[in-house]
Structure 1
Amino acid sequence: MGESPWERLATLREKIPNVLFQMLFRGANAVGYKNYPDNVIREFIKESAQAGIDVFRIFDSLNWIQGMEVALDEVLRQGKVAEACICYTGDILDESREKYNLKYYVELAKELERRGAHMLAIKDMSSLLKPLAAHKLITALKNELSIPVHLHTHDTSGNGGATLMMAAMAGVDVVDAAFSSMAGLTSQPSLNSLVAALENSERDTGLPLEGLDEISAYWEAVRPVYKQFESDLKTGTTEIYYYEMPGGQYSNFKSQVESFGLGHRFQEVKSMYKKVNLMLGDIVKVTPSSKVVGDLAIFMVQNDLTPENVCEKGKAMDFPDSVVSYFEGMIGQPQGGFPEDLQKIVLKDKKAITCRPGELLPDEDFQAIKKYLDEKFDMDASGQQIMSYCMYPKVYEDYRTKLKKEGSLRRMGSDVFFHGINLEETCGVKIEEGKEMIIKMLEAKPANENGEREVVFQINGSIRSVTILDKTANTKASKESILVADPDNDLEVGANIPGTITKLLVSEGDEVTAGQPVAVIEAMKMESNILAKVGGVIDKIFVKEGNQLIANQLVVKIREEKGE
């Protein structure tokens, strides 16, 4: 979105001084998708606390307490509210599923309380907690704990409201809900409906329905602007109990599958998601572990793999980075351990760890990062900016580059930011507090053969024009043929997935061996190595870092070295 979350937080904190702010913190993964060194975890919490976060909801994607301990300790050290979190999966009403039974959750909760948690959260990210199960779980937790219990669920199944009601009857202290116009399906249950249902009862919230409806009406007008990010769900679906896919992932999984050219096999990929979960030993699925399941499901369908043949066919395959990282133990240790046969196939010659990854990762050198950012972007990097770089180096560098080129667009209305304006349409764009530009689109001239077109507009009454590259223009440049690797020629290496080349690992003239990575390609947060099929010398490279590729687009060509 081209904006700093730190700036957004500062603005919200200024406008809303008397309400507690909470953030979700993925334990050793912080707000990223991998494990970070302990000093990054601690420094990020320190910066977030100073910036205005009051409550830290800390979880581990595998419910592995060791993955939460550094974050929990630092939140307590900063004097903020530590809300330790347990991710809910399975079904405690199903006695045949013994792995995640009531005893499992209660024992985890008691251990988190013993470690100093101020509150306990139950994170039902996949909307799997059925109403009667909620009553059973909350009752048990309230009987065993002395700290407040907070329930978070989604409404994907359509049972979310009933789940919150049953939790309320069992004595839950806090629940998450959304204004009615933003509620339902992969979002949370409706706050307005819950408040109305509890009126004149012993659990009456005291919140005024008239005020809630007024706020909901505001968001009802805003929501259509973000229509492109909606899931395709129109009604609640009980298939969520079968797939056990988190609501957030369910919302964007179809887009991810389509980006791999597998949209027509979406149902097959969803079915594979469940099979992959069982292959992995039935794991807790929430970011980043849910990403592992999703990435592997796509990889399996894309390569025509099955649970029965993956260990045989997978011997010569390079699995997605997220899957390799999982089996290395870099996300944590799952309940019941790793399936050893699959772990061996995925890791090949790599060795797995059994300790907390943060114990092995060297500390980040914050001063070196500051020096790098200061010199590259001519800035005086703050602690917040250093933390942004630590979380997402490439994303942050792209943000700084775009900021320098285009300026800050954070005050631009979302409708204009996402959809632009049409001919003769006028819009107001706020550039800073108290300063707004009135812009009217006058003309968009035809594109030239390079796809560039001149756009004429009026800004505060003055005529201006700019030349832009229209990526949708049907031009000579856009018609240039894309080179595709010959699948029968092992000397031609093509992209294994459609995506963006994030890193070239070889140069022309380099010697490579069979199976050696030559480039890294990324699509929808899933990174994969592109491998040489045979040994030889890199004859020619056909792509650059940052290029968008289609599946099997030619990346490099290898020539075999002939002996003397």
Structure 2
Amino acid sequence: MRDAHQSLLATRVRTYDLRKSSPFVAKHFPQFYSLENWGGATFDVCMRFLHECPWNRLAELRELIPNIPFQMLLRGANAVGYSNYSDNVIEKFCQLSVDYGIDIFRVFDSLNYLPNLKVGMEAVGKANGVIEAAICYTGDVSDPNRKKYDLNYYTKLVDELVKMGTHVLAIKDMAGLLKPRATTLLVDSIRQKHPDLPIHIHTHDTAGTGVANYLAAFEAGADVVDVAVDSMSGMTSQPTMGGLVAALQNTKHDTGVDLLKVNEYSAFWEQTRLLYAPFECTATMKSGNADVYVNEIPGGQYTNLQFQAFSLGLGTQFEDVKRAYTEANKLLGDIVKVTPSSKIVGDLAQFMVQNKLSSKELVERVDDLSFPSSVIEYMQGLIGQPPGGFPEPLRTKILKGKEKYDERPGSSLEPLDFKKIENELKKKFGEEEIQECDVMSYVMFPKVLEEYIEFRKSYGPVDCYETRIFFVGPKLGEPIEIEIEHGKTLHIVVLAISDLLRQSGEREVFFQVNGQLRSMKVKDTAASKDHKVHPKVDKNKKEQIGAPMPGQVLDVKVKEGDQIEKGQTLLVLSAMKMETVVKSTLSGKIKKVHVTSGQQVQGDDLIIELELT
């Protein structure tokens, strides 16, 4: 209920469909170790794209499934966000999560950086949650030529996590890089040193070796593995539940799970998945692909990286993006790749493809390039310290004098005043609109939470709509039912929609609600958009600076008449959570600024004109 649809459907599965399947799960699968249904990208996407409250999702599922432990993915000192937070934020977040229904916290850090892991583990312990600390797996322990992440590296990491008080150990293979031989070596090495430590294996089936890895894991002494129901398994998702259950029947590892019930559960999601077709990863991936052993793209990132590529105009170059991902990883020092470090590699890869840069060309032109914000922040040390340190001299050249941090990023942050934030939100949106959980959502994603509340105030609880209606809207004359609360259902039929009213940009919609005829005027945002063509940059004129990618202008840092130096920041662009700082390649005076904050631009749109000095 989390990673499968994050990996296959860009995390777009709605609470509406999870609720429908929950009673079946509670009745027929009570022996599950846990049900992972929260954390990771679900938190952000719930608000940003599905217009739902992630906390409400958790509470509703807890009510429907009272008999199976709930598990979430916690990004250590990042909680479910992409930034570092003060320690009291992580503690408050974990306590709220327990209050809403989470039992087991899989705590990881994107660089396996122990100080960040410790913050998350201690916060879970204080909240009386089950601590499942994770080692994030990369490389190949069965390959003697891959020396950076060898068995010694992982066993030492496990020793430290045991000392820090983990209850369960997770081996988090987020890209599906484990091979049966490597699985055997890794699990057996840990089991020999820690005979009583519960071991939980997580992998993705990108290359198609998932079930084989799990069989090897059980033989080597693992206790728990992650699967996805058959119709939501395979490729960048987890290995198949039915396949594993069948493979273990009549063996000493027989699960006791009823295969017929697995098939029935799978049939529900097979039909439901059709509703999410626009978000399928199968636009470019039709089958398992062993190239993951080369590019090492995490399963949960694959579809989001694909959507980012399309939004940046790189949809037809996704194979180039995957190749660049391999190069970007090497440039960054061969790092562990999982959110947020995987995003950094992805941002750099797309930056390289967008600007037609090879690794060699990037290094040669580093002084003239405006790198994505995530890459700059990584090089500063703002997500932690990578194994083996940062790549030099590339780090120093990219930072161009910016401060470097060698301590835990959140260690110097002051405790956050939650009451102050709550009062500010209530003042802005109204007392009745803000709950305690909204304050925490704001801390994680301020702009996303504000947009979610504005949407909720304008349109009400759209999570009540069935999924097809939510995504595409009703057909004319089609009767639809919307249960707005238990026992209260609206019967609605859209009868007619008027032509566009040119002056107001509205259309009049005629419909019935419970048999009563009504009408209202609705703004047609698509028809009222400004379709002016933005001028393109003339690449023969050095004084013209263009947008390096499509996106939204977040902030303009200069104004007309300003004297600027080469390398000075001009503005900040954002596209699909990827931010890029645009710097001047020349010194001069700002002649004209062609964009404003909030404006959408395309690649090579003219943004700044200079007078050269």
Choose from 109, 112, 128 the match for 2:161. 112
Paired residue secondary structure (1:440):
strand
- In the TM superposition, 1:517-556 aligns within 5 A as 517-534=569-586, 541-556=593-608
- Cα distance in 2 for partners of 1:405, 1:490 equals 46
Change (3 A) 1:119 1:526: same
Q: Which residue of 2 aligns with 1:320?
A: 372
- Cα distance in 2 for partners of 1:379, 1:339 equals 50
Q: Which residue of 2 aligns with 1:229?
A: 279
Which string of whole-angstrom CA distances, capped at 9 and with x for unpartnered residues, describes residues 186-223 of structure 1? 11111111111111211111111222222221111211
Paired residue secondary structure (1:92):
coil
Change (3 A) 1:537 1:427: farther
- Cα distance in 2 for partners of 1:533, 1:334 equals 30
Q: Which residue of 1 aligns with 2:396?
A: 344
Choose from 400, 411, 414 the match for 2:453. 400
- Greater CA drift, 343-352 or 138-147: 138-147
Choose from 219, 225, 233 the match for 2:269. 219
* AA at the equivalent of 2:436: G
Question: Percent identical across equivalent pairs?
Answer: 45
Q: Which residue of 2 aligns with 1:96?
A: 145
- In the TM superposition, 1:301-312 aligns within 5 A as 301-312=353-364
- Cα distance in 1 for partners of 2:248, 2:539 equals 63
Choose from 434, 438, 441 the match for 2:487. 434
- Greater CA drift, 507-516 or 286-295: 507-516
Give the TM-score, by structure 2 length. 0.87
- In the TM superposition, 1:118-137 aligns within 5 A as 118-137=167-186
Q: Which residue of 2 aligns with 1:241?
A: 293
- Greater CA drift, 406-415 or 361-370: 361-370
Q: Give the superposition deviation at 1:369.
A: 1.3
Give the TM-score, by structure 1 length. 0.94
- Cα distance in 2 for partners of 1:318, 1:415 equals 42
Q: Which residue of 1 aligns with 2:496?
A: 443
Q: Residue 288 in 1 paired to residue 340 in 2? A: yes
Change (3 A) 1:250 1:540: same
Q: Give the superposition deviation at 1:470.
A: 4.1
Paired residue secondary structure (1:340):
coil
- Greater CA drift, 12-21 or 506-515: 506-515
Q: Give the superposition deviation at 1:413.
A: 1.5
Runs of at least 5 residues in structure 2 that lack an aligned partner in the other structure: 1-49
Q: Which residue of 2 aligns with 1:197?
A: 247
Q: Give the superposition deviation at 1:270.
A: 1.2
- Greater CA drift, 54-63 or 276-285: 276-285
* AA at the equivalent of 2:102: I
Q: Residue 155 in 1 paired to residue 224 in 2? A: no
- Cα distance in 1 for partners of 2:165, 2:149 equals 24
Which string of whole-angstrom CA distances, capped at 9 and with x for unpartnered residues, describes residues 373-393 of structure 1? 011111264432111111001
Q: Which residue of 2 aligns with 1:272?
A: 324
Change (3 A) 1:133 1:502: same
* AA at the equivalent of 1:89: T
Paired residue secondary structure (1:521):
strand
Q: Which residue of 2 aligns with 1:263?
A: 315
* AA at the equivalent of 1:235: S
Paired residue secondary structure (1:353):
coil
Q: Residue 166 in 1 paired to residue 216 in 2? A: yes
Q: Give the superposition deviation at 1:472.
A: 4.9
Q: Which residue of 2 aligns with 1:299?
A: 351
Q: Give the superposition deviation at 1:278.
A: 1.3
Q: Residue 460 in 1 paired to residue 509 in 2? A: no
Q: Residue 176 in 1 paired to residue 226 in 2? A: yes
Q: Give the superposition deviation at 1:124.
A: 0.7
- Cα distance in 1 for partners of 2:215, 2:248 equals 8
Q: Give the superposition deviation at 1:269.
A: 1.8
- Greater CA drift, 314-323 or 546-555: 546-555
- Greater CA drift, 504-513 or 45-54: 504-513
Runs of at least 5 residues in structure 1 that lack an aligned partner in the other structure: none
- Cα distance in 1 for partners of 2:557, 2:80 equals 28
- Cα distance in 2 for partners of 1:62, 1:317 equals 26
Change (3 A) 1:307 1:541: closer
Contact in 1 for aligned 2:91/2:126 (Cα 8 Å) = no
Q: Which residue of 2 aligns with 1:329?
A: 381
* AA at the equivalent of 2:419: Q
Contact in 2 for aligned 1:493/1:531 (Cα 8 Å) = no
- Cα distance in 1 for partners of 2:159, 2:419 equals 40
